[in-house]
Structure formats: structure tokens, C-alpha cells
């Protein structure tokens, strides 16, 4: 942490800061410039220290220089985290494809979709049993009934399943059915939920909140990691901006940034990232070209009859076409599809 | 809902839409313009209908014309909601002042603050026992111990208390101590929590999420209202923008907007809204001039020793000065301070 | 400027940076912390230095600690800039009211408005002769004809006039008629135009760009000041955010921030700041309560017949009502209306 | 345009609206729903009509249904615009690569770069002679001297040149040297400049403003097209969001959106789009995977000695590596590199 003094700060003020730091077992390292004095704080700092220092007389600004997250950083762990789910590995170089409907609506809808995405080469089946919805009057999912249908689809197709958990007390229930727990964007800072999935002992996918900075996202990851769960992957799903043409603005740059600053695998969700089905394929391909470890795609037998997010869902045909394009782009990058999919 | 057809749409496509609407018990009302045809949907529509219609051939755009929230709207209830907390009324015209530390840190800290803000004219005591924190390594509150200290301060000062609840299973616990439950910005779309406080039978204050539109905020209010709890007030606490000088950008215009579109009381929190103590007084005054029903102000005996959010907390002296200014501005608006405070 | 080294940086890398700094006549001041080394750069730095340093091996981050603007800062000039326009002073404590139509549409429209706002207590007449318009098919102003009508209104009412200049080569023309030149939000970074108005020798009002940070705004002010024109005031007129209810989100906190970091007067424009006439009065009052030196209000004889921005214009009656409220709030703040207006 | 009446609107109010519309030669088409009446406006509408209608009694909302831009839309012209620059075509399917330094700094710097990017396969040379700069104290370009150096590089390498024009009166000068005129992000709404380049008779590249919606961008394009210049391409270069890790957030989804709603070619600028050299390659590849017609890349002989934007510039080696990756990804998409580059 660096304390920048005001141009007209006085020696007494500087001395007071040094004293305050000493009270906390920290040392202040003075650097007198042409215009102003700067104090480097040496020792184990913490975020609240900044608030305190900013309030002291003579202080112009306080600048943190250490990243507030640790376990999720490349500096802490230089090699990539690789997560194993059955025979699959996520984060090990191959492209993983997760696909399925936004919400589980019925046995028929899910099984039909599961077979179709499996046939097209998807590796993991997605489907929501508990659905957060902006409006209390909208469909909120089938609950445990939906989880059972998901398990049935796994039974039949062999695909592991990823599904969302929306509240801490459901973690145990969802764990009984899911292979990967998903924490949704609206819950990225539901800290009690993060604690719980941090104790779950199964892989977790943490979506970025729609107004979360990359640093805040990694701090939420830190909650999960610090509870002992290291099987964690991140998912970029679009951020909120002023643009209204798309539902969200998918931050494709987050993919190489995460790769640079963290060892955690990064998945891209162009369905929520754009909100429009005809943008899903171009953004899925873009995400892969930018280095994503996987993509998550919403697929529905009849998007125009979907109970949720039909506008951003692909038909089986469109999904199949996208898979062929993914195979081609992945090969051009010198990478492979997970599970031996080759079109 | 209005369906806007493409310029080159065909009669068959229009007929197909009318058929789809009829399947759902709805009627389509055709309006043929110079350039294109527009179909007005008559009947009880719902959000998912939009997704479905957007996917049909020949459709350019689908525009909802009914607001998705009901119980929170002025159209549903034209007179203002007035909430009673002991002798106080919130939303009835008088300005209510809530004040206290960000977090309850100790009995001494809270009681000292409670006495000071009471003496200065505050009406309600605030203080967090459960604190959401961006980092897992930061202070997260004293929990039930903090609630007990709050109750003790109420005992001594007579001020009702408002405190945050962060997870559904704590609602019962917090209810045993609090007079008003606060749902924080990060939990504005924690729908399970909204359901729970909707059943609580005590007043609730719902903060705006930092990237929530006004419509989304009112939809979250709808969760609480639709569970039967009508003692609901809203709180503007700043939104996330590109500006980095302040922690958030306080959206003062949200105050008169809420007053126009909803009957719910609206409180302003300039402490979180700005993140800097020297901006708290000007923004509190601005909020009142814009018509806020109340303000919530963070006050701490020694902000530079606070465990949380010291940078945005007022000292006792600064709070007292602000109260005097509030009294003056409130009088100039032809309004009164709640509880007979008159400086 | 502070250079933060990577945790695993090597001595050779540190030495290289010190050498680079020395080449530019700068000194590096080393501070070795527990985790990493930090280098304070002593000497006259400049923004491009940051880009260079960031690229050097071993560097984690480079943090500027000096503000990039000078002439506009409080540190450079501690007393407030006070601008004189005829008998009026702007920035000297009294509240200045600028009012008039968005665009000059006709002699009759402008004169009628000028008389009405004068009668209600406005100090300065506004009206656009050159109008930037998002669409090429919309009204773009009467040009010089509009300037002549403004001059005529000044002749009749005695009110000085403020009007916008949109391109460098029109500065001379507009100067012949205007008392204050306005640089609009879309031109805040039209640097050639800033240079020109910097040489104009008449007061200038610089609006904040809709996505400009406060620092960028002050850097644009620096363009004008560094050309020798110190009669400069700033105008907050709303920033672009994700919220779609309002046309812009008026950043009321910018008012006390400018007051703190700069000596330049700050005006608030709630008409553009909100885009809706029924929000203009509450936000004008809020701006004044937050400390604005003046407000700029759009007024039109028949907003529903306005050629531009009718939706955000006040009728004469509404403007008169607002003036009465301003008088009251200004008095409650211990301030006065400019020009002796007292309702 | 659709006029949505309030739930409690009266017949007299509806009649008044119909009368107003008739005064303007428009017809109102009534549609009475369960809750409220909606009026479809039939005839040639215009943006100001919305402002007017919103102000009338009984009106809840006014919704435009026609896009405000025409010449730039796919509906107006269904086949792609293809621009010819010498032997090159832009927008015809092949990927065009523009490369060069941010600013022309010297003959040596530019020629060296020109040779290197030519050798690596670039098609068009970029370089700024007039540089907009946030700070008045920073480098603003060599002016005409820079243009001469660009012309010399074209002479030697045969590459056409693209360079920015920042003010209307320089258009003639820049036209004497440039093959393509660039309008920068900060000038996207400099309407006088747009008019001028609309008369230029040479190809123009219009960058998206950093807070411009896609609709506003297309309206700025409309300025140029409506002056008769149809040789127009667009360039996505990042938008302003709350994220501070990158300089801008590159909106990759804008690429397929422009392709859908407009016939104009779309170029991606990942250098400005990210602001960090190590993100340029992944985002360039992403843009191509999303369907961009071209990319614009900043390249500098020694980025750490660049006078401007060194942090986002590639070295010659890095650029060469990127070209090889582009060749591979372009081939995987079934497309070709312009100019026969094949690695």
C-alpha cells in the first residue's frame, strides 16, 4: 500500500502516519519527490487499512499495490488448474462443450435435448431446476423434480450434468444429483452460498456477476477456494453496459485476462452473453479463438415454445452447425475437442 | 405487447402469428402502416411471450407495453404507502433520519454512537451484524452478538433499529431483534431471501442493486409485496458506472422517479452512494431536495479506526452539522423532520 | 509515478528500470517490501512514461500519483474562480439561473421565452443556434439567423446570452454575438475546438461529455486554460449509464467533487441531465442543495410544439414554480440568488 | 410510432391525439386492449414527434418502431457494400489487415514499421499524423509532416494508407495524402466533420464512439452516407464500461450485429479495444472468428520507446506471430486473407 501525501503536507502529518503504521506492526518507507512525499507501507496490509489511512490529515490518496485475492492468482499457483469430471478434463487444453436447455421443463424436453446435443458432440448436459427470475410471476423451475429428470438424462446418455444452486440450504439437495454446481451471475456475491459450495467437495462453476469487475469475481472465487474447494472454474456470461441491442455485452477480453492472472479454467456462455440466438454462434467462436477452455450453449427442441430464454436458445440444427464450426476453429488453434469429438 | 413485422413480411407470417396468439387465448389486432404491419396483442400477456414471438418468421421486434410489475406501481395503488415503526411514520411526508455505524463492532462503539445520533436528532439506529464483504478475508460482522448489542441500544435510547439480513435462514433470527429488516444491494436479486422477508410481517427496506434498473428494482419489490408484506420501503444507494472517483454514482433522479411510478417510500443512502465522507452531506441534502422520504447515514466515533467503511463514515461532529443543514433544507421545502427534530 | 515489480522480479530487471529512468533524467527510489519491490519515480514524469514502464520486464503495474491536470486544480489555485458577465458574477456564491429554449426556433418563440424567464428571475438567456443532432435528418438550428435573434433578445431584456459553438471555424462568428460560449457534451474532446475557445477572450462553459470521467473533463478544461482563457466554468449534464428510464443519469456528486478538486465554477443542467420535464425541478433543487454555482434550465412556450427536446422543457408556469422553490432552498443554504431575485 | 395511453386515459385525450396527428398529415390507428388503448401512428413520422406526443395528457409512453437510420440499413440495401482501395477490396469476404504505429513519429520509425508489416502480410498502412490526446501536454502528432512521411511509405511499399482527420478544415489537406480517411471515436458525433468527410469522395472508416450505442453509430454513418459518400466502413474499438482492467471493453458482439443490421463492412481494432498488447492477439482472433471484415493493429519498432500508446502496440515479432494465427483461423472459417497472404 502506498500513501500519497498532499503537496502541502507537513512533517507532523507524516510522523503521525508512521506512528499509526507502527501501532499495527507495519513500517512506513519514505520517498520524497519533487512535489510530494510518498510512503510505502511495508508489512502485511489489509483492505480496511486503506480506509483508515485515507482519513488521516495530509493524505491525498492511498493506493493498494497488492492484489486482494491470493488463492485464485497465477502468482500463487503457476500451473493451470485442471478439473476432472468422469473421463473429462476441464482446463487441460481441450475444448469442453456444455449444452442443454435453460430450464428443465419436462422429461420429454430434456431427454430429447440431451440426446441431440450428445449426438452433436456436447460433453456435459446443462439444465436449470432452480431458476432465478427477475419477476416473481415467471417460471422458477421444477425444483427437485427437475434434478431427477437431469439424473435420468445422465443415466441414459452418460453425460455429466451441471445445474444451478440458488440458495445455501439447497446445496445438499443439488449435490445429490449434480456433477458440477453452478453459481449464477446474480449470486456471485451471495457470500453464504459461496461458503457452502466451497465445502461441497464437487466441481463448481462461478459465473461473473453482471456488474462485477474481474477483481471482484476473483474475490468471490477466493471465498470458494478458501473453504477448501479447488475444483473451481469461472464463466464469463456478459456484463451490463449502456448498449441495449444485446441483453448483456459479452466481455471476450475477460477470457485471456483470466488466463493471465489466474490458474482457473474459464468457460464462455454466449447465450446469456448476448441474449439473442443469432449472436450465439459468432460469440462462441470468438470465445474459443480468444482461448476459452469451454463454452456453454443453450439448446431447446422448440425455442419458440420454451418456458424460459427461448430467444437465446439454439435449435438442434443450429447447434449441430455450431459444433462443426467449433471443431474447425479449435483445430486451427492447434487444440482438440474434449471427448474426441471431431465433427 | 406489440409485434412489429419486417418491412417485407408476408401474409402467411402474419396469419401464423395470429394463430399462435389464438392458441394462447389472445387476440391480434392488425394495424397496417405505410412501411410495415404492426400487431397489437390483446389479452393477458406475460414476459415469455415476447421470447416466443421474437423467434417467429417475419417478426422484426416485439415491444412490451405493460409494465411487468403491478403491486409496487402507482397505477395499482395511487396513495402513498405509509409505514409505521413505533411512533414514527415513514413515507407520510416527514423526513426520517437513520444513522449509525456501518458494522456493529462492540457494545461501546455502538452505544456511544447511538447516544450521539439520538442527541443530534436521528430517528432510527442502523448497524450491521451480518456484513457482506467483497473479500473473504475481511470482517463479516459479529452475528447474533451484534444483534444483541443493537437491541441493547434500542433499550437505552428508544430508537427502533434497522439491520441487514443476508441469507434466508437468518430471517427468523434477525426478526427477533430488528424493527426493520434491510435487504442489501448485493441481495436485491436473491429471490429466496426476498420470498422470506416477504413473509416476515415486519417492515423491510430493499436497497437497489448496483447495476439494477429501476424496473428490476421494482420487480424485486414485487417479490416481497406478492408474499403479502406491504410494509416495504426502497433505498437508493448508488449505481455502478464508469466513473472511478466515487465508489458508486448516486442516482438522485431515482428518488423522484420512484415517487412518480410507485407508492413506496424512498430512502437515500449517500454513504454508500458516494463512498467518501466529504460527499455525504452534499448528497444527503440533494436527496432531500429531490424529495426523499428519509436518509440513511453512516456515523462512527472514530472513522479512522472503523473495521468497515470508515472512509464514508461521518464523525459525531460532522453528523450534527449535517442534521442542522437538513433541518433547514427540509423547512424550506415545506416539510418537517420526523420525531419533532427542529435543530 | 510508482513502479510495482512482480513478486519474482530479478535484480537485473530493477537495475534496467533505474537505467531507463536515468536516461530520462529521472531517479528511481527503491522500497523493498515483504512481497515485492516498489520503485518511486522522482522527477518530472509524463503520461507516456507509464506506457513505457509497463512494458519493461519484471514490472507488474505502474501507478501514476500526480494528477495529470494542473491549471484547473485547487492545488494550483486555492481561491475560487469568479467570472464576471456584465453585472453578474458566476462562482462567487450567488446562484445563477440560465434559462431559455433548447434551440432558437423563431423571433417570436425566443422573445416570448426571454421575457418570461426574465420576469421569473432568470439571469442569463440560453438558446442554441447551432444544434448537434444525433440524426442528420433532424433540425440543426437556424445558424447566424439564430444568433441575431439572441442578440435582439439581449437588447430587449438586458440578459447576457449563452449559446453553443460546435466547430472551430464558427468560433469567431459566435463570439460576435454571445456573452458566454458553450462547448457541448459531444464536443468535450473536440480538442481543436477547445484550443479555439481557449483563445476567445470571453467566458466559456464546458459541458461534461456523457462518458467522461471527472479527470478527463478537467483535462479538457486544461486545454482551454492553457491557451490563456481563465474565464471557464464547468457544467454537469448527465452521464451515460445502463439505466434507460432517464436519457442520462445526472451525476449530482460531480458538483461537490469539482468544488473540492477544482477552483472552477460548476453549473448543473437537469434538463439534459434527466431528459424528462417532470424530473427537472427535483434535480435542479438537488443540484443547488449539493452546492452548484448555477443551473441551466430549458424553457419553451409550448414544449409540445418544440422543434427540439420538448420532452425536457418546462412551460413558463413550471419554470416560475421552480424559481420560487429555488429561492427558498437557496435561502435555506445561507446563499443568495444572483441579480437580487427574491421571488 | 406507437402511443401507449394510460390505464385511466379518457376519450377526450384520445381524440386530442388523433387531432394532433391529423394536423401533421398522420393517421392514428386505435387498438383497445383489456387494460389500455394503444394508438398506432400511420404516416411519415420523425424523432421530434415522440417528444411532442409524450407531453400530451393521457399518454403513458411513446414507442418508435421504425429505425431512425435508413441508408446504412440492410433493409435499404441488402447486398454488402464492397469498398475498393487500389487492388484491395474491403467487405467482399477476404480479411483485410491494417497495421502500423499509433502515431507517425519519424521517417525512420514509420518506414521501418511499414516494411515489417508489409513483409508479415499486412494490406494497409496505418499511422496518425493528427492525434487527439486527452491531455493538452501530450504529443499531438507531426501534422502535415507526418502525412508526407506516410505518402513516402506508400511510395516505397505500395501499401495504401489510412490516417485520421480530426477537424473539418483539415479534410482537404488529409485527402491529398490519404487513401482512407479515419474518423476517430472521439469525433463520432462531430457532425460538421461527418458532413465534410461525406463530401470527400474517398473511403472513410468511422470508429464507434466509446459510449455510442449501435444505433447512434449508424446514425453517424448516416451523416456521411447522406452526403453522398457510400465508401464507408465501420470500426469497433471498444466501449466504456465499469471494468478498469482494460482501457475499454471491446464489444465483439457489435461485429455480427453490424453484419445483420447494416451492409457496411466492419473492422475491429483490438489495440484500442483492449489497451494492452498481450490482449491484442486473442481479441484480433476473436473478432475474425465473429466475422470481422478486417482488423487494425498497432505495431511499433520499440513499443517501450513509443511517443503514444506503446502499451497497446505489438513488436514486429508479435505481429508476425499474430499474422500466422490469423491465416490459420481465417482458413478454418472458409475465408481468405486479402492480397493473397497465406503465411
Q: How many interchain CB pairs under 8 A, A with B?
A: 133
B286/C282 CB distance under 8 A:
no
Residue C126: strand, helix, or coil = strand
| B220: its cell numbers | 424485486
CB contact at 8 A, B338 and B97: yes
Strand partners, C124: C98
Backbone angles phi, psi at A265, to 5 degrees: -65, 150
pLDDT for residue B63: 85
The alpha-carbon gap from A191 to the nearest alpha carbon of chain B, in Å, equals 7
- Closest residue in B to C248 (Cα) is B253
Q: Give me the phi and psi of C106, to 5 degrees please.
A: -165, 165
Lowest mean pLDDT among A70-79, B212-221, B303-312: B303-312
Answer whether B24 touches D (CB < 8 Å): no
**pLDDT of amino acid A343:** 45
Q: Which chains touch C (3 or more CB pairs under 8 A)?
A: A, B, D
Among B36, B63, B244, the residue with its CB nearest the CB of D63 is B63
Residue B241: closest C-alpha in chain C? C241
Which of B51, B191, B277 has its CB closest to that of A311?
Answer: B51
Q: Digits of tens for pLDDT over chain C (343 positions)?
A: 889 898 889 999 999 999 999 988 888 888 887 778 889 888 877 777 888 898 899 998 888 877 888 999 998 999 999 999 999 999 999 999 999 999 999 999 999 999 999 999 999 999 999 999 888 988 899 999 999 999 999 999 999 999 999 999 999 999 999 999 999 999 999 999 999 999 999 999 999 999 999 999 999 999 999 999 999 999 999 999 999 999 999 999 999 999 999 999 999 999 999 999 999 999 999 999 999 999 999 999 999 888 888 889 999 999 999 999 999 999 999 999 998 765 4
Which residue in chain D is spatially nearest to C169 when comparing CA positions? D169
pLDDT value at position B8? 85
Tell me which H or E stretch contains D295: strand D294-298
| pLDDT confidence of residue A47 | 73
Nearest-neighbour CA in chain B from C268: distance (Å): 12
D176 contact B CB<8A: no
pLDDT at residue B289 is higher than 80: yes
Least CB–CB distance from B33: residue in D32, D35, D40: D40
Residues comprising chain B, all counted: 343
Using CA atoms, how far apart are residues D284 and D297, in angstroms rounded to an integer? 8
Q: Does D92 touch chain C (CB under 8 A)?
A: no
Portions of chain B given CATH number 3.30.70.1140: 2-63
List Cβ neighbours of B269 (8 Å cut-off, separation of 6 or more). B207, B235, B236, B237, B238, B295, B296, B297
Q: Do D253 and A282 touch (CB under 8 A)?
A: yes
| List of residues 6+ apart from C12 with CB closer than 8 A | none
- Separation in Å, CA of D230 to nearest CA in chain B: 23
Task: Kindly tell me if the per-residue pLDDT of B343 is higher than 60.
Answer: no
Closest CA to C242 of D250, B213, D252: B213
Categorize the per-residue pLDDT at A341 as very low, low, confident or very high, splitting at 50, 70 and 90: low
- C34 in contact with A, Cβ within 8 Å: yes
Q: How far apart are the CA of B211 and the nearest CA of chain D, in angstroms?
A: 10
* The pLDDT of residue D278: 95
The H or E element spanning position D156 is: helix D144-157
Query: How much is the pLDDT for B306?
Result: 84
Which residues of B fall within a CB distance of 8 Å from C287?
286
Percent of chain A exceeding pLDDT 70 equals 99
- Give backbone dihedrals phi and psi of D80, rounded to 5 degrees, phi first: -60, 140
Contact: D256, A242; criterion CB under 8 Å: no
Residues C277, C319: Cα–Cα separation, whole Å: 10
Q: Which of residues 263-322 of B touch A (CB under 8 A)?
A: 277, 303-311
Backbone angles phi, psi at A46, to 5 degrees: -155, 155
Q: Cα–Cα distance between A265 and A81 in angstroms, integer?
A: 7
A250 touches chain D (CB under 8 A): yes
- Top residue of C189, C221, C227, C277 to mutate, by most chain D CBs within 10 Å, is C189
The grid coordinates listed for A56 are 488521516
Q: Which of residues 207-236 of D touch A (CB under 8 A)?
A: 211, 213-215
Query: Do the Cβ atoms of D284 and A284 come closer than 8 Å?
Result: no
Instruction: Give the chain D residue whose CA is nearest to the CA of C139.
Output: D48
C-beta separation of D41 from D62 below 8 A: no
Q: What are the chain A neighbours of C28 within 8 Å (beta carbons)?
A: none
Neighbours of B11 (CB within 10 A): 9
Helix (H) or strand (E) holding A216: helix A214-226
Chain A neighbours, 3+ Cβ pairs < 8 A: B, C, D
Cβ contacts of A33 on chain C, cutoff 8 Å: 29, 40-43
- Three-state SS sequence of B217-229: HHHHHHHHHHCCC
Chain D residues inside the 8 Å CB shell of C190: 167, 186-187, 190
In chain B, residues with a C-beta closer than 8 Å to the C-beta of A244 are none
Cα of A329 to nearest chain D Cα, Å: 6
Which residues contact residue D234 at a Cβ distance below 8 angstroms, ignoring those fewer than 6 apart?
D205, D206, D207, D208, D217, D221, D258, D262, D264, D265, D266, D267
Note whether C168 contacts D166, CB cutoff 8 Å. no
- CB count within 10 Å of CB C301 equals 17
Most distant pair of Cα atoms in chain C: their distance: 76
CATH (residue range B2-63): 3.30.70.1140
Q: How many beta-carbon pairs under 8 angstroms link A with C?
A: 62
3-class DSSP assignment, residue B86: coil
Give me the pLDDT at residue B35, please: 75
The DSSP code sequence of B91-148 is SSSSBEEEEE-SB---HHHHHHHHHHHHHHT--EEE-BSS---SSTTS----THHHHH
* Strand order across the beta sheet in which B27-32 lies: B27-32, B37-42, B2-5, B59-63
For residue B252, the chain C residues in CB contact (below 8 A) are 250, 252, 282-283, 286
What CA dihedral angle connects C303, C306, C308 and C312, to 10 degrees? 0
Nearest residue in D to A245, CA atom: D214
Q: Is A340 on the interface with C (CB under 8 A)?
A: no
Query: Which residues of B fall within a CB distance of 8 Å from A187?
Result: 190
CATH class of A83-340: alpha beta
Position C139 scores a pLDDT of 87
- Grouping H, G, I as helix, E, B as strand and the rest as coil, residue A113 is helix
pLDDT single digits (tens) D69-80: 899 999 899 999
**What is the distance in angstroms between the Cα of B269 and the nearest Cα belonging to chain D?**
21
Report CB contact under 8 Å: B223, A136.
yes
Q: Does D255 touch chain A (CB under 8 A)?
A: yes
| Segments of chain B assigned to CATH 3.20.20.70 | 83-340
Cell of A10: 507537513
More confident residue, A281 or D341: A281
Task: Kindly report the nearest CA distance between residue D156 and chain B, in angstroms.
Answer: 44
Task: Strands of A203-332 (E only): list them.
Answer: 204-207, 232-236, 266-268, 294-298
CB-side neighbour CA atoms (13 Å) of D272? 22
pLDDT value, residue A295: 98
Measure the CA–CA gap between A102 and B25, rounded to whole angstroms.
26
Contact between D329 and A331 using a beta-carbon 8 Å cutoff: no
**Number of A:D CB contacts under 8 A?**
114
- The three cell numbers locating residue A183: 453459481
To which residue does cell 440578459 refer? Answer: C159
For residue D246, list chain A residues with Cβ-Cβ distance below 8 A: 253, 257
Question: Which chain D residue's Cα is nearest to B30?
Answer: D31
DSSP letter, residue D82: -
- Give the closest of D8, D29, D66 to B31, CB-based: D29
Nearest Cα residue to B275 out of B241, B324, B229, B301: B241
Terminus-to-terminus CA distance in chain B, angstroms?
52
Q: Does B137 touch chain A (CB under 8 A)?
A: yes
**What number is the ipTM of this complex?**
0.94
Which of C134, C217, C227 to mutate to probe the D interface, most D CBs <10 Å?
C134
pLDDT value at residue C342? 55
Instruction: Indicate the average pLDDT of chain B.
Output: 94
Among chain A residues, CA nearest to B315: A55
Whether residue B341 is predicted with pLDDT greater than 70 in this model: the reply is no
Beta partners for residue A97, in sequence order: A295
- pLDDT number for residue C343: 45
- Lowest mean pLDDT: which of B66-70, C159-163, C194-198, D145-149? B66-70
Residue C209 near residue C182 (C-beta atoms within 8 A): no
- Which long-range contacts (C-beta less than 8 Å, at least 24 apart) are formed by A9-12? A9/A36, A9/A37, A9/A58, A9/A59, A9/A60, A10/A58
CB-based burial, C18-51: b 16+ in 10 Å, e otherwise: bebbeeeebebbbbebeebbbbbbbeebebbbbb
Amino acid at each position: 500500500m502506498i500513501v500519497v501525501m498532499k503537496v502541502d503536507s507537513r512533517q507532523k502529518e507524516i510522523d503521525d502516519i508512521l506512528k499509526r503504521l507502527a501501532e499495527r506492526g507495519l513500517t512506513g518507507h519514505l520517498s520524497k519527490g519533487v512535489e510530494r512525499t510518498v510512503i510505502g507501507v511495508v508489512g502485511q496490509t489489509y483492505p480496511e487499512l486503506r480506509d483508515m489511512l485515507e482519513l488521516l490529515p495530509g493524505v491525498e490518496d492511498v493506493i493498494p499495490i497488492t492484489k486482494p485475492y491470493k488463492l485464485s492468482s497465477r502468482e500463487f499457483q503457476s500451473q493451470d488448474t485442471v478439473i476432472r469430471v468422469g473421463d473429462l478434463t476441464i482446463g487441460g487444453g481441450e475444448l469442453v462443450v456444455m449444452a442443454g436447455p435453460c430450464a428443465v421443463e419436462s422429461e420429454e424436453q430434456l431427454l430429447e435435448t440431451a440426446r441431440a446435443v450428445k449426438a452433436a458432440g456436447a460433453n456435459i448436459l446443462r439444465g436449470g431446476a432452480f431458476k432465478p427470475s427477475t419477476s416473481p410471476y415467471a417460471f422458477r423451475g421444477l425444483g427437485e423434480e427437475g434434478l431427477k429428470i437431469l439424473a435420468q438424462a445422465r443415466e441414459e446418455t452418460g453425460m455429466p450434468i451441471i445445474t444451478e444452486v440458488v440458495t445455501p440450504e439447497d446445496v445438499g439437495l443439488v449435490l445429490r444429483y449434480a456433477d458440477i454446481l453452478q453459481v449464477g451471475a446474480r449470486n456471485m456475491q451471495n457470500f453464504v452460498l459461496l461458503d457452502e459450495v466451497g465445502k461441497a467437495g464437487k466441481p463448481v462453476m462461478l459465473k461473473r456477476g453482471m456488474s462485477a469487475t474481474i477483481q471482484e469475481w476473483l474475490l468471490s472465487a477466493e471465498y470458494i477456494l478458501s473453504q477448501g474447494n479447488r475444483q473451481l472454474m469461472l464463466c464469463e456470461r456478459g456484463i451490463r453496459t449502456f448498449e441495449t441491442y444485446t441483453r448483456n455485452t459479452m466481455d471476450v477480453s475477460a477470457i485471456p485476462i483470466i488466463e493471465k492472472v489466474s490458474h482457473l479454467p474459464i468457460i464462455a456462455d454466449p447465450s446469456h452473453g448476448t441474449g439473442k440466438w443469432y449472436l450465439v454462434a459468432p460469440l462462441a467462436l470468438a470465445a474459443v479463438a480468444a482461448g476459452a477452455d469451454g463454452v456453454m450453449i443453450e439448446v431447446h427442441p422448440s425455442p419458440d415454445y420454451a418456458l424460459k430464454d427461448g430467444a437465446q436458445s439454439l435449435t438442434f440444427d443450429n447447434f449441430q452447425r455450431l459444433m462443426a464450426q467449433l471443431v474447425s476453429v479449435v483445430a486451427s488453434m492447434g487444440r482438440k475437442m474434449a471427448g474426441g469429438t471431431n465433427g
